[in-house]
Chains A and B, each alone.
Chain A
């Protein structure tokens, strides 16, 4: 069974304080690893797709990396608007399996 574990559960940062979120996974037949951002009461918003170990993607203050067993989402110099829950998910053919998420709070 596919498993996705995210850590930490919650992260409180000062504005400008860089940090990293971890996503470790086990999956049969990885079709992709995905990062989403979710704001309270809203649907997950797609951020990145990573397909193979060594791959990296960047968007503004966010950078995602992938190894064979885990992925990291690095937040550089975060701002209050980066506060959200960040979800990691792995896909095999039809199913997207999600981790529980990391809730990031950035204080001004």
Chain B
């Protein structure tokens, strides 16, 4: 089944403890992206990647890192999480620049 898989689905962590949210797609898509969704603010892009080893900042990149060493994987790294990074995170992928993104099921992160 064609899909975007994120792990974990739920995560509670403490301020300052490094964490990684994994994302993998099995559709051979070129583009991948991370979004966060907050009440009243909608979906905002954190980082995107156009291909292996090519990444760029979205609208809200502060406090996040990404890497794209393989085409299928696009992990999101929080080096020192803070409470304002508590949010619902979505990974997404698309085949080319004019196609829509396919979204993962989401990761609900709580930083205390």
Name A's B-contacting residues (CB within 8 A).
Answer: 31-32, 34, 36, 41-46, 49, 51, 87, 89, 91, 93-101
Contact = CB atoms under 8 A, between A and B. Distances in A.
B43 A91 contact: no
Interface string B22-51: 000000000101000000111111001010
A43 B105 contact: yes
Contact of B45 (A49, A87, A96): A96
Nearest to B88: A41
A100 B42 contact: yes
B78 to A, nearest CB: 20
B106 A41 contact: yes
Contacts of A96: 33, 45, 92, 100-101
CB-based closest 3 A-B pairs: A43-B103, A98-B43, A31-B98
B11 to A, nearest CB: 14
Interface residues of B, number: 27
Contacts of B90: 43-44
B58 interface: yes
A97 B60 CA distance: 12
A32 B105 contact: no
Given A42-B106, A44-B90, A44-B103, A95 B98 contact: no
A44 B43 contact: yes
B83 to A, nearest CB: 20
A55 B37 CA distance: 29
Contact of B100 (A42, A46, A97, A100): A46
Nearest to B91: A43
